[in-house]
Structure 1
Amino acid sequence: MNEQAPPIGLDEVARHSQAVLKSVQSVIVGKDESLRLVLAGILAGGHILLEDLPGLGKTLTARCFAQSLGLDFRRLQFTPDLLPADVTGSFLYNQKTAEFVYRKGPVHTNLLLADEINRTPPKTQSALLEAMQERQVSVEGETYRLPRPFTVLATSNPVEFEGTYQLPEAQLDRFLLRVSFGYPTENEEWEVLQRRLGRRTEDVELSPVIDAETLVKMQAALEHVTVEDSVGRYMVAIVAATRTHSQLQVGASPRGSLALLLASRALAVLDGRDFVTPDDVKGVAGSALAHRITLRPELWMRRIDPATVVADICRGVEAPQSAQTPSYGQIPATAQLASRKLAQER
């Protein structure tokens, strides 16, 4: 554990996070848990895959988070004819200077919306691999660092097969979390219509709650969230169980364990704690592991959801009893009061 003081207190991280959530929830109706997972992924410094049916607010969610977090935002529509240079940028000849000049691509931003990422061929999808892992791009032998923070929010429609390409496992593994929204209830859908009538415009603009520099400090502060050894071993046990489960052909790699660690720390802070509990681990397990496992072929026809298998594994792995009782303390009461106040205002 790094003993150096965090650049920003965890209580302040919790306050900012709740304010960002409240801002986004003013537009996105009834998807509080999914929005919490998306924000947890951003706080953890990871990338998120929003996979769901068309028209459920995936693109709007990305735009709302970019506006509330005060981030530079680019939207790139992935199509079958998209080239890697359209993502990373390329060198163009400048006739005035008689030199080749690098023109930055849309990946040079804080939050990149890779819309319908499964509509582009694997060659173009691979252009994002270096950016997502090393936070840099290499073009014509030159390496360019990406701005901080850098997050990819990608969308994918699972029901469309015409003109789509399955994401390779290496690409899926780069996403810290995979989040789905699902259909709204009738009351939630009516509230969507009411809000649209009240706005009298299709456009939605949110005021920034924080800025990019503050988000970087919040991400660094998460390194000071305590993870008890028993909770860490609980994460490892869950991931190890995916490798021996009878319904799985391929289990999660150690990157799955890291995903549980990073995302559960962020979820703990969102809940007003400076330590991780087994419930935090369970809360992110489905989103962190379901896209990292492969079902046995004979189970595909039965339409078994990988997230259901992960939930079954979590129930089968015994949680550490000592970690059920808080042993390190809550984030200062001011942050808790602020979080409760924001929740009541919603």
Structure 2
Amino acid sequence: MVATVHSLKPRKDPSLDAMIALASTDMNAVNAVILDRMQSDIPLIPMLAGHLIAGGGKRLRPMLTCASARLLDYPGTRHHKLAASVEFIHTATLLHDDVVDGSDMRRGSKTANIIWGNPATVLVGDFLFSRSFELMVEDGSLKVLKILSNASAVIAEGEVNQLTAQRQVDIGEDRYLDIIASKTAALFAAACRIAAVVAERDERAEDALDSYGRNLGIAFQLVDDAIDYASDAATMGKGQGDDFRDGKATLPVILAHARGSDADRQFWKDAIEGRRVSDADLAHATRLVRETGAIEDTFARARTYGQRAIDALGVFPTTTAKLAMIEAVEFAVARAY
């Protein structure tokens, strides 16, 4: 069969509705696993975990596992527990991230660390990591275990890399991309790849789904980092300018710093090092990333990675599942507009 080539020319108002519909039956089963496995005799654990898990997230990563399984016409149910495992890994990293970043808002609500404190939040994150590995072991596939455990290690490496890069304005685009490839894209890739393993497909299918997830994850994070300077807190689900105040040199900052005048570069150095964090400073930073074209160029890079994600699906025949996964990429990129 000749593969169909699809270009990233986002339709008007792309959404996740097609993917949500595609994965709805599977996600009902995944959600049941999540609710069951977040329980504990220690009341604080399900209370704190439930605060984030029930906090309105789209559960995109487990949804990708389910959509990939549909793409491959997998008739079984092994992917339900594995998709739940993916969500537990993601939730654990969010809990830990909020502690590291000192965040006070996520998805429009107070973060767990603000409500219950840092120690409890870290420990419940550890509990969810443990639950995720229990689910992997129950599946019984060493290959699946290797993929997801490796992704967990890579995510942790990415978080440490980001931590050591904090408050440094001149980390460069390559290191920035290394960070987001680890802390975001690795789990997207693993979530998709494991579907090919449980469906007993060949390495070509595994690699294709890995590439789809990885490039989608990078595009997703690029857009997130750009709209931190372009959208309000209601759109972001976190405080506007959080990256700026946390001293994170994301791609818009890296580009604006490189393209700015000497005075602009001094401003960015002061800002990222924590000496310019007022609302007026954020407004000035937003003007600089716009005037230097850094926002639009970040979105353009996101579109490039989005196209790579779509191209990776070229090895599969065009089906409802494939079209839903393509629209998910279009949605990820279109959030910029």
Larger Rg: 1
- Higher fraction of helix: 2
- Higher fraction of strand: 1
Q: TM-score, normalised by structure 2?
A: 0.31
Q: TM-score, normalised by structure 1?
A: 0.31
